[in-house]
A and B are shown apart, each in its own frame.
Chain A
């Protein structure tokens, strides 16, 4: 550990390292965030927006998922953690003052919400900030099982602990450093038992040998761990990536099989599975969920209204269970 006056003056990109992205993941910068670190997720034109405010408390992630957009996204390859929590609180209040509807906040956009929680205990601190602001909902999204510091506090009705889930074969090959499926679901069970609301994100859904059986099994195990009454929402998002990510995935994650399926370029300049494949993927997932919890609040991530219609038979406006998300 070293203390420096200006962390930005140090090497931020590690371009001379054999694996600059991996090298960046080994450096943690603790510094005040001098800019805005609460921002409304801009969504993408033509796609349905889910009213999400992103808290960039951390930028960069210690996990190393093959499909992670951050590999090609952040100029500073180090993990940066903001230390000026007081400014964060002011910015949250400013956003809430400007917005009258329900608002979801999350720290899991540019990082994993709980990756450093055993050491830093930021999760518990955020819970208390939001407990005092009941109009807002906080989602702590993770691929870890680091919930010990959070669930020791009394549950907060406006805080949701969320897990990103995938099929075990994808977790094994493409989510390096993340907890296994068993550990994530065990943590979710513990959270529910402690009285917390939970959520699940199947994102990215991937195609590959045995995907139907695997996802069906994951959905069943998910509801074994958390009964539908305790699930705040479930999101479904199919694998998508900027074309430039293909090279990064091949170079850094040669063992990954996620690029094997059929992709097409979409209007938002991202590669996605061809439409019939996505439709099949979402419909199957919806059917697995319906079999256990027909009224569970499910939404699609980064998809257009036509895909909502094809999967749910209606758009988000008619999804009553999701009023708090899309209201």
Chain B
């Protein structure tokens, strides 16, 4: 390739140029394992200037893994000094050709084009968005710029697989401090991405509706659960408590309904299912049976309960 040479460079001689870094997370344990076993197989990209300085523009994860693995040198393609933004685009194309960038990486790439390379919003939408497979939309751009400003915990959530920028941008609706507190708490409890994003929104809504700090919502739920529960059960209980706090009427209907089912005294194997969110006109009576006799017995138990006992089940209609 014209103007490009191959070299094995000492790690200490390479200075990372953060303008080009959009990999997230930069540290990868699986890559570290691979580097420990096989070394760095694919050269990083550096730009060499006339004074002999070597600046890293691509391969931030490989450099990190090589350093952590204690390698003295790393294979590199050394580019002659070239227009930095052209190189940025080449680096971006190289990445998007081989993998799908997550929401944080997209955000960092777009953010860098604007903040570090002086590109206008229109230039980014016209030139960069198609390369990144993004819709040419101001909203998408705004979402990405918001994500680019996230702290480490929010970035960790936003970069999870399958979280589109629009979805991750839900977390932009609060101040930096609240966002980090909340995300750190969600990550600590390992709620999973979908539940985390749902909880994020719900907790923010509670804080807004009740006009209390986010920390108070978290503290309330933490203190209302005993410490002796195992972590998954504890997380599930916390999810339920937070949802119930946001939806007290729905929770009351659920409790009333459960009490009415209990007092109807129906046998096991008869499941009574209200419509989702109690919106709808019908209750489902589901009979589980392994043989005809059981089916008939359980159906008879429903009939024998009579209207009087079953009526409270329909109170919400």
Interface residues of A (CB under 8 A from B): 15-18, 20, 46, 247, 250-251, 259-262, 264-267, 272, 274-277, 304-306
Contact = CB atoms under 8 A, between A and B. Distances in A.
B279 to A, nearest CB: 4
Given A16-B136, A20-B138, A20-B139, A277 B280 contact: no
Given A247-B170, A259-B205, A274-B250, A16 B280 contact: no
Interface string B117-141: 0000110010000000001111100
Nearest to A272: B279
Contact of B209 (A251, A260, A277): A260
B248 interface: yes
B246 interface: yes
Interface string B289-316: 0000000000000000000000000001
Nearest to A261: B209
Given A20-B139, A260-B208, A260-B209, A266 B248 contact: no
Contacts of B281: 46, 304-306
Nearest to B169: A247
A305 B282 CA distance: 12
A250 B205 contact: no
Interface in B218-257: 246-250, 252-253
A263 to B, nearest CB: 8
B97 interface: no
Contacts of B247: 262, 264, 274
A50 B173 CA distance: 39
Interface-centre pick from B122, B137, B139, B166 (highest chain A CB count, 10 A): B139
16 contacts: A15-B136, A15-B138, A16-B136, A18-B138, A20-B139, A46-B281, A251-B139, A260-B205, A262-B248, A264-B279, A267-B276, A267-B280, A275-B316, A276-B252, A277-B249, A304-B281
A276 B253 contact: yes
Contacts of B279: 264-267, 272, 275
Contacts of A251: 139
A274 B170 CA distance: 23
B211 to A, nearest CB: 10
Return the 5 tightest CB-CB contacts between A and B, nearest first: A264-B277, A274-B249, A15-B137, A266-B279, A260-B209
Contacts of B249: 262, 274-277
Contacts of B136: 15-16
B151 interface: no
Interface residues of B, number: 31
Contacts of B137: 15-16, 20
Nearest to B275: A267
A46 B279 CA distance: 11
A260 B204 CA distance: 11
Contact of B135 (A15, A261, A277): A15
B83 interface: no
A274 B253 CA distance: 10
Nearest to B140: A15
Interface in B145-190: 166, 170, 173
A306 B250 CA distance: 17
A265 B277 contact: yes
A260 B246 CA distance: 10
Interface of B is mostly: helix
B204 to A, nearest CB: 10
B200 interface: no
Contacts of B85: none
A255 B205 CA distance: 14
A16 B208 contact: no
A274 B138 contact: no
Nearest to B135: A15
Given A272-B279, A277-B249, A306 B317 contact: yes
A182 to B, nearest CB: 30
Contacts of A260: 205, 208-209
- Which interface residue of B122, B135, B138 has the most chain A CB atoms within 10 A? B138
Given A262-B246, A305-B281, 16 more contacts: A15-B136, A15-B138, A16-B121, A16-B137, A18-B142, A20-B137, A46-B281, A251-B139, A260-B205, A264-B247, A264-B277, A265-B279, A274-B247, A274-B278, A276-B252, A304-B280
B224 to A, nearest CB: 20
B250 A250 contact: no
A301 B253 CA distance: 24
A218 to B, nearest CB: 24
B292 to A, nearest CB: 34
A265 B276 contact: yes
A304 B166 CA distance: 33
A17 B138 contact: yes
A76 B246 CA distance: 36
Nearest to B170: A247
A262 B138 contact: no
B246 A46 contact: no
Contacts of A272: 279
A275 B278 contact: yes
Nearest to A309: B317
Interface centre among A18, A275, A277 (most CB of B within 10 A): A275
B125 A264 contact: no
Contacts of B280: 46, 267, 304
B127 to A, nearest CB: 13
Contacts of A46: 280-281
A204 B250 CA distance: 21
A16 B138 CA distance: 5
Nearest to A277: B249
Contacts of A275: 249, 253, 277-279, 316
A275 B252 CA distance: 11
A20 B139 CA distance: 9
Most chain B CB within 10 A, of A250, A267, A272, A305, is at: A267
A20 B208 CA distance: 27
A68 B252 CA distance: 30
